[in-house]
């Protein structure tokens, strides 16, 4: 049994929404299961529906701190009938993520994943651990970090799903709105690789500049006074007759259909009072604007507006089609399907009202990544123990967690416990230490030794700073013995009286 924090969203029948962290026991894996330590999981717009739903976040309140933090908000009474299936349930949140398999069942497939970095889907990823079937894991290529693989599913497969839908429905080019998003950038790279015509619609000039910078060929700004004319020209150039709209509410879907009809009409050889016979389709796949969809019907009779969702699409293409798309994502995870994040937060920081005000807006370029392992120090006075870890020299007391592990900021033996960005912290510590006087460096190394009780050859002494610290500890004791220290735990300064020093052993 392994214990960790899990973020849950609870909606009461009264309409009060509570989002909090819950201490959860994760069972040992069954024969075909694995236990994954979640190291990175993104906040996607699709996650916000379960996390907060239609709650009034403008008047949300927070209470508590650390692992006891919680957010409360009110859901309008008119929305509750549509949420009946989730009332009075504490529901885990998070569609996808990545981490390390720390326990595995007895089956060959499960054992093959032990110690591997994997991506996963299926919910409940806003947690420190996730138990799932081995078949539900996607092993990441060697050298790929959890952060790089955290967003391997929703955005990449949605982007590929758009081009696949376009082909299956007989269209040759497509339109995409909110196109400067992570998903939009992936879609541009896919279309450039596959030679597909793509019309990008953005809402700001700086977003247009961003897309042009990554190789986008056609970008149209909806804030331009010439938007309709520019969109029509783009549709004439590409022949796009299908669009995927992330905005949802408002008039944009209708504008796209109108411009499609105008573009088609330019090549018409005869007039029809029913409009063109070419089918024009806009799929709504997002809800950045939750208002009503407004349609002005001036685009004939051959048109459609509907919803598009990734899960039904994947069911439609079957296992073979899914495997083909997944393999393409894995092969190009660091290039075509790379994701970028503006901020990394802990589970507790997800519930910070300042952070909520940013990521709940679903703004382009404001994508958050959660690092659940950053919450390891929130488990009160509990021992921080990794599965199968039998070392006894680290204790997770409240005092221990509340301060830096050492003055150099290094986490070595604790790296498996706290899950910090060790390489980054070590690099920063080395830059800091480089400018310090030698004596001060040695004092800090001594402090590190006292924290970790390391000796040469210890498993946690692999980093040069730690090896030097352990060696310094040993040599300091030897020097004291040679000088004939007056009493254990003291040393004499040059020509001065003995002064107390913290024992080194």
Closest CA to 470 of 423, 418, 434, 505: 505
The answer to whether 174 touches 218, Cβ cutoff 8 Å, is no
Residue 220 lies in a domain: yes
Radius of gyration (C-alpha) of the chain in whole angstroms: 28
**How do beta strands 137-139 and 242-245 pair?**
unpaired
pLDDT of 481 reads 59
Mean per-residue pLDDT, 341-357: 95
Within this chain, do residues 301 and 421 fall inside the same structural domain, yes or no?
no
Residues 448 and 413: their CA atoms lie apart, in Å, by 11
Mean per-residue pLDDT, 350-354: 95
Range of the domain at 43: 2-150+340-373
Positive/negative CA dihedral, 399, 404, 407, 410 = positive
Within this chain, do residues 132 and 23 fall inside the same structural domain, yes or no?
yes
Within this chain, do residues 120 and 87 fall inside the same structural domain, yes or no?
yes
> Confidence band (pLDDT; 50, 70, 90) for 422?
very low
Q: pLDDT, tens digit, for every residue of 152-179?
A: 999 999 999 999 999 999 999 999 999 9
Q: Helix or strand or coil: residue 494? A: coil
pLDDT of 365 reads 73
pLDDT of 482 reads 59
Within this chain, do residues 98 and 168 fall inside the same structural domain, yes or no?
no
Domain final residue, candidates 263, 279, 314:
314
Mean of the per-residue pLDDT values of the chain = 81
pLDDT of 297 reads 93
CATH number at residue 28: 3.90.180.10
Within this chain, do residues 180 and 289 fall inside the same structural domain, yes or no?
yes
Residue 168 lies in a domain: yes
Residue 79 lies in a domain: yes
Q: What is the DSSP string of 90-107?
A: EEE--SEEEEEEEEE-SS
Q: Which residues contact 109 (CB under 8 A, 6 or more apart)?
A: 32, 134, 135
**How do beta strands 197-202 and 219-221 pair?**
parallel
Residues 145 and 136: their CA atoms lie apart, in Å, by 18
Residues making up the chain, counted from first to last: 505
Residues 370 and 394: their CA atoms lie apart, in Å, by 25
Mean per-residue pLDDT, 137-154: 93
Residues 22 and 7: their CA atoms lie apart, in Å, by 6
pTM for this one?
0.71
Q: Which residue reads 């955290």 in tokens?
A: 150
- State yes or no: pLDDT of 432 exceeds 90: no
Q: What is the largest CA-CA distance in the chain?
A: 109
Least confident of 75-89, 212-226, 306-320, 388-402: 388-402
Question: 267 vs 328, which has greater pLDDT?
Answer: 328
Q: pLDDT, tens digit, for every residue of 466-485?
A: 445 445 555 555 666 556 54
**How do beta strands 137-139 and 117-121 pair?**
antiparallel
Mean per-residue pLDDT, 301-323: 95
Within this chain, do residues 169 and 73 fall inside the same structural domain, yes or no?
no
Q: Which residues contact 318 (CB under 8 A, 6 or more apart)?
A: none
pLDDT of 357 reads 94
pLDDT of 361 reads 86
> Confidence band (pLDDT; 50, 70, 90) for 288?
confident
Question: 283 vs 441, which has greater pLDDT?
Answer: 283
Residue 141 lies in a domain: yes
pLDDT of 459 reads 41
Residue 381 lies in a domain: no
Within this chain, do residues 124 and 236 fall inside the same structural domain, yes or no?
no
pLDDT of 452 reads 42
Least confident of 42-51, 53-62, 180-189, 442-451: 442-451
CA angle 194/195/197 to nearest 5° reads: 120
Residue 329 lies in a domain: no
CATH number at residue 263: 3.40.50.720
pLDDT of 233 reads 97
H or E stretch at 47: helix 45-51
Q: Which residues contact 334 (CB under 8 A, 6 or more apart)?
A: 144, 148
Residues 257 and 304: their CA atoms lie apart, in Å, by 9
- State yes or no: pLDDT of 148 exceeds 80: yes
Structure tokens at 487: 């009493």
Per DSSP (E only), the strands in 117-214 are: 117-121, 129-133, 137-139, 173-177, 197-202
| Cβ count within 10 A of residue 48 | 19
Within this chain, do residues 249 and 281 fall inside the same structural domain, yes or no?
yes
pLDDT of 66 reads 87
pLDDT of 107 reads 96
Number of domains in the chain: 3
Least confident of 282-291, 324-333, 370-379: 370-379
Portion of the chain with pLDDT greater than 70, in percent: 74
Residue 431 lies in a domain: yes
Within this chain, do residues 33 and 143 fall inside the same structural domain, yes or no?
yes
**How do beta strands 61-63 and 70-74 pair?**
antiparallel
Q: pLDDT, tens digit, for every residue of 365-415?
A: 788 999 997 765 454 433 333 444 333 333 332 322 333 333 333 333 333
Within this chain, do residues 159 and 290 fall inside the same structural domain, yes or no?
yes
Q: What is the DSSP string of 382-437?
A: -----TT----S----HHHHTS-SSTT---STTHHHH---HHHHHHHHHHHHHTS-
Least confident of 1-15, 337-351, 367-381, 488-502: 488-502
Residue 449 lies in a domain: yes
> Confidence band (pLDDT; 50, 70, 90) for 270?
confident
Mean per-residue pLDDT, 177-202: 96
Domain final residue, candidates 296, 314, 332:
314
pLDDT of 75 reads 96
Within this chain, do residues 467 and 368 fall inside the same structural domain, yes or no?
no
Structure tokens at 166: 């376009």
Within this chain, do residues 294 and 354 fall inside the same structural domain, yes or no?
no
């Amino acid at each position: 049994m392994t214990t960790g924090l899990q973020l849950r969203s609870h909606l009461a029948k009264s309409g009060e929404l509570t989002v909090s962290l819950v201490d959860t026991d994760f069972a040992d894996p069954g024969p075909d299961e694995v236990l994954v330590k979640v190291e990175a999981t993104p906040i996607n717009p699709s996650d916000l529906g379960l996390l907060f739903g239609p709650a009034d976040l403008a008047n949300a309140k927070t209470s508590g701190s650390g692992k006891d933090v919680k957010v409360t908000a009110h859901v309008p009474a008119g929305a509750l009938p549509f949420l009946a299936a989730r009332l009075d349930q504490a529901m885990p949140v998070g569609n996808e993520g990545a981490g390390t398999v720390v326990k595995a069942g007895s089956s060959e497939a499960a054992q093959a994943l032990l110690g591997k970095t994997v991506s996963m889907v299926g919910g409940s990823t806003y947690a420190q651990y996730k138990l799932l079937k081995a078949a539900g894991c996607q092993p990441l290529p060697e050298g790929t970090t959890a952060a790089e693989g955290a967003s391997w599913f929703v955005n990449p497969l949605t982007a590929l799903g758009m081009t696949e839908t376009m082909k299956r429905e007989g269209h040759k080019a497509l339109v995409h709105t909110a196109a400067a998003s992570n998903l939009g950038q992936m879609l541009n790279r896919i279309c450039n690789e596959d030679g597909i015509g793509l019309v990008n619609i953005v809402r700001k000039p700086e977003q247009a500049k961003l897309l042009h910078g990554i190789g986008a060929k056609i970008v149209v700004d909806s804030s331009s006074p010439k938007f309709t004319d520019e969109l029509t020209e783009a549709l004439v150039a590409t022949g796009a007759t299908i669009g995927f709209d992330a905005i949802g509410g408002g008039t944009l879907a209708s504008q796209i259909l109108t411009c499609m009809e105008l573009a088609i009409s330019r090549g018409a050889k005869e007039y029809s009072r029913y409009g063109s016979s070419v089918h024009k389709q806009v799929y709504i796949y997002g809800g950045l604007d939750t208002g009503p969809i407004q349609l002005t019907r001036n685009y004939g009779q051959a048109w459609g507006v509907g919803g598009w969702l990734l899960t039904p699409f994947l069911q439609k293409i079957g296992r073979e089609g899914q495997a083909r798309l997944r393999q393409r994502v894995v092969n190009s995870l660091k290039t075509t399907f790379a994701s970028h994040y503006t901020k990394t937060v802990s589970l507790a920081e997800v519930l910070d009202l300042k952070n909520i005000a940013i990521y709940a807006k679903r703004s382009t370029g404001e994508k958050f990544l959660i690092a659940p392992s950053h919450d390891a120090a929130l488990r009160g006075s509990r021992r921080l123990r990794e599965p199968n870890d039998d070392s006894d020299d680290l204790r997770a007391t409240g005092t221990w967690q509340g301060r830096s592990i050492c003055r150099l900021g290094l986490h070595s033996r604790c790296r498996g416990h706290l899950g910090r960005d060790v390489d980054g912290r070590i690099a920063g510590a080395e830059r800091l230490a480089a400018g310090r006087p030698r004596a001060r460096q040695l004092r800090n190394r001594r402090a590190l030794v006292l924290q970790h009780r390391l000796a040469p050859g210890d498993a946690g002494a692999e980093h040069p700073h730690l090896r030097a610290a352990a060696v310094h500890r040993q040599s300091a004791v030897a020097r004291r013995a040679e000088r004939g220290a007056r009493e254990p735990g003291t040393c004499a300064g040059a020509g001065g009286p003995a002064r107390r020093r913290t024992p080194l052993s």
